[in-house]
Amino acid sequence: MSEMFSIGMSALLANQKLLATAGHNIANVNTEGFSRQRVTLTERPPQFIGSGFSGKGVDIAAINRMGSEFLTTNVRQNAAGEARAAAYSNLSQQVDTLLSDGTFTPAMERFFNSLQDVNNDPSSTPARLVFMNAAETLSDRFQDLEGRLSTMARNVNQDIAAKVGKLNSLSQALGKLNRDIVQAMGLAQGAPPNDLLDQRDVLLKEMSRLANLNVTPQFDGSVNVFIGNGQLIVAGAEYVELAATPNRLDGARTEVSVRKGGVLSEISSALVSGELAGILEFRDQILDPARNSIGRLSAVMAETYNAQHNAGLDVRGAMGGDLFAHGEAVVNRAATNTGTVTVTIDPASLQNLTISDYRLTHDGTDFSLERLDTGSVQTLTGAGPFNVDGMTITVGTAPANGDAYLIQPTKYVARDMALTVNDPLRLAFASPVKSSGALANLSDAKIAAPSVLDPANAALQTTTQLAFNNPPTTYQINGAGPLIPFTSGTNIDLNGWRVQITGTPVAGDTFTVQANANGRGDNANGLLMFGLRSTEIMDSNTATYQDSYSQLLGQVGARTQQAQISRNALQVQLENAEAARDEIAGVNLDEEAANLVRYQQSYQGAAQVIATADAMFEALIAAMRS
């Protein structure tokens, strides 16, 4: 009888645990990372009673969580990939929206249209004022775009610091959990502390969302975590702190570093998934190229317009100066450098200007220049100055082995773009020289309008007479010097200008090139300024200003579109990975309801065993009494 009591009791206890576990599962149905638990029952060892073995009831063998390490790892890795894509896509959308806002191209259009209005009416001061206003607006748009992009760069830095901080606190929490799990497993002689393990999986998933991790389980139940290319950041209860540090060469760029033995080493480039990787990739692939591209456009526009404006004559009769001011190339030097270099944008090779940054290093003999977007390296031999990719690199103090520089040719150019002319009469729309044939000329030969080759030539505006000799196959300049053979239509280059004479001059015909005094109504230089609009001046002479901006928009748009597509795909993959895990580990309320019914019935049965034993006992007592 006592055997029946003991069997009944074991059944009651086992079913209570089954019911409680079902309750625990139901209670945690919405708990993040919870794995449903299952009680494993086992028969008690039987007793030999001579004729055979008699059963002794039920025991609880173990309480396990459902799930597999493989599926959990899978979820973690997919979460890291999805987080990278989501961060990248969200950030690139901001740039995409900024460039698509449709304020830049109208500013350019207005600049060119108002330029033409001045050409139509060069003597009209109101037209000149409108043009100056349009030029200011255009400069403002450049400044504004660069301003907004550099604000994004600062936000990226803050974001990186915040994420690194979060990763550190998660590492710390993981270390604590590791310690708790090791302790719990020691107490339970190896039985798994299911709920602590669930919590650790949640922590690991959150950490994976920030950066790509490698998780290695240890024999004592703890896990070691490696980040990036194998930097240990959590070992048992210990953790290593990450830091957001300024780039060695460019303090305006925050990088992720790991602190080990008091030494910081950068691991940014080793991050390939997680939000941090998405942010860093966005900075490299979208933000920096966009800033450089805007900078390059402003540099080329400012420089080409300055050159053309310099070749013109203003209403007051003076040669034009610069039209725009702009920022210069920036050189960031390592603190350990011995030598110095300066870099300027080379106005003579603007078509070679790229949107890349460069790393310049010295090996003791030569400089080597690495273009960062393509990785191509070239060696610069000698003392310079070196003209490379639209830049002029001038060496100052002698360099030493190990010197390193980061050159940002165009990044900060747009920041300081501004109109420098503030007097409408100082706009140089006229040509500084004009040409004419003498009224007394007997032939129909014509002289073309002069074009300016060298505005700085001191003799540019000196009156120069070309007189045809007898026979008129040669001409003389200012009635002296050699007899120059004449061919109709060939270039005559002198004093910084170029003209052509066409037709058949006769002896005694004279042509004069002289200062364009009193040419208020002249727009010859203005027409050349307008002509820059459709000149393919950028990207190895393949793109106009407008092309360059459209290309930027197209590239950012394509990258953003690509990022959105890849985020959507990775989201689906993550959902599938979570579904696969949930199929095994997730709680199904219907299932638990059914289990409750089943366990309740078993529990009632066990109770009935005890009641029966009791009834048997009562019957026995009653029989003894009678």
Q: Which residues 80-119 are close enough to bind another protein by CB under 8 A?
A: 92-93, 96-97, 99-100, 105-106, 108-109, 112-113, 116-117, 119
Q: Minimum distance between the CB of residue 367 and another protein, rounded to whole angstroms? A: 37
Nearer to another protein, 206 or 578 (CB): 578
For residue 147, give both structure tokens. 């301003």
Q: Minimum distance between the CB of residue 49 and another protein, rounded to whole angstroms? A: 42
Among 22, 587, 606, 613, binds another protein (CB under 8 A): 587
CB 382 within 8 Å of CB 346: no
Identify which range of 159-167, 257-265, 489-497, 545-553 contacts another protein by CB under 8 A.
545-553
Q: Minimum distance between the CB of residue 546 and another protein, rounded to whole angstroms? A: 5
Sign of CA dihedral 615, 621, 625, 626: positive
* Helix axes of 524-531 and 288-310: crossing angle, nearest 10 degrees: 160
Question: Quick one: how many helices (H) and strands (E) in the chain?
Answer: 10, 30
Q: How many residues bind another protein (CB under 8 A)?
A: 76
Among 150, 547, 573, 602, binds another protein (CB under 8 A): 547
Given 3-state DSSP classes, what are the helix, strand and coil percentages for the chain, each rounded to the nearest 5? Answer: 45, 20, 30
Q: Minimum distance between the CB of residue 238 and another protein, rounded to whole angstroms? A: 35
Count of CB atoms situated within 10 Å of the CB of 572: 12
CB 487 within 8 Å of CB 495: no
CB 130 within 8 Å of CB 115: no
Q: State which of positions 499-528 bind another protein (CB under 8 A).
A: 506, 516, 518-524, 527
Segment holding 108, helix H or strand E = helix 104-120
Among 578, 599, 603, 613, binds another protein (CB under 8 A): 578
Q: Minimum distance between the CB of residue 597 and another protein, rounded to whole angstroms? A: 7
Identify which range of 145-153, 298-306, 340-348, 583-591 contacts another protein by CB under 8 A.
583-591
What's the chain's length in residues?
Answer: 626
According to DSSP, the β-strands at 418-419 and 324-325 are antiparallel
* Collapsed DSSP state (helix, strand, coil) of residue 433: strand
Q: Minimum distance between the CB of residue 111 and another protein, rounded to whole angstroms? A: 11
Backbone angles phi, psi at 316, to 5 degrees: -80, 0
- How many Cα atoms occupy the beta-carbon half-sphere of 450 within 13 Å? 31
Q: Minimum distance between the CB of residue 534 and another protein, rounded to whole angstroms? A: 6
Q: Minimum distance between the CB of residue 539 and another protein, rounded to whole angstroms? A: 14
Q: State which of positions 119-148 bind another protein (CB under 8 A).
A: 119-124
Among 585, 606, 609, 613, binds another protein (CB under 8 A): 585
Q: State which of positions 278-307 bind another protein (CB under 8 A).
A: none
Q: Minimum distance between the CB of residue 335 and another protein, rounded to whole angstroms? A: 40
Q: Minimum distance between the CB of residue 585 and another protein, rounded to whole angstroms? A: 8
Amino acid letter at 363? D
Q: Minimum distance between the CB of residue 202 and another protein, rounded to whole angstroms? A: 14
Nearer to another protein, 59 or 547 (CB): 547
Q: State which of positions 597-626 bind another protein (CB under 8 A).
A: 597
Nearer to another protein, 66 or 418 (CB): 66
Q: Which residues share a beta bridge with 394?
A: 342
For residue 191, give both structure tokens. 């039985």
Q: State which of positions 558-577 bind another protein (CB under 8 A).
A: 558, 560-561, 564, 575
Q: Minimum distance between the CB of residue 586 and another protein, rounded to whole angstroms? A: 2
For residue 515, give both structure tokens. 């200062």
Q: Does the protein bind another protein through residue 557 (CB under 8 A)?
A: yes
Among 236, 384, 503, 586, binds another protein (CB under 8 A): 586
**By CB neighbour count within 10 A (0-12 exposed, 13-18 middle, 19+ buried), where does 382 fall?**
exposed
Nearer to another protein, 100 or 342 (CB): 100
Among 3, 69, 220, 583, binds another protein (CB under 8 A): 583
* Collapsed DSSP state (helix, strand, coil) of residue 365: coil
Among 63, 588, 607, 617, binds another protein (CB under 8 A): 588
SS3 assignment for 521-581? CCCHHHHHHHHHHHCCCECCCCECHHHHHHHHHHHHHHHHHHHHHHHHHHHHHHHHHHHHH
Nearer to another protein, 100 or 487 (CB): 100
How is the beta sheet containing 404-408 ordered, strand by strand? 330-333, 404-408, 358-362, 367-371, 377-380
Q: Draw the binding track, 13-32, toward another protein (x: CB under 8 A; -: no contact).
A: ----------------xx--
Q: State which of positions 424-483 bind another protein (CB under 8 A).
A: 430, 434, 436-437, 439-442, 449
* Helix axes of 125-187 and 275-282: crossing angle, nearest 10 degrees: 160
Nearer to another protein, 358 or 511 (CB): 511
Nearer to another protein, 264 or 449 (CB): 449
Q: State which of positions 333-352 bind another protein (CB under 8 A).
A: none
Q: Minimum distance between the CB of residue 431 and another protein, rounded to whole angstroms? A: 8
Backbone angles phi, psi at 117, to 5 degrees: -65, -35
User: Could you identify the residue written with the tokens 């074009």?
Assistant: 451
CB 456 within 8 Å of CB 311: no
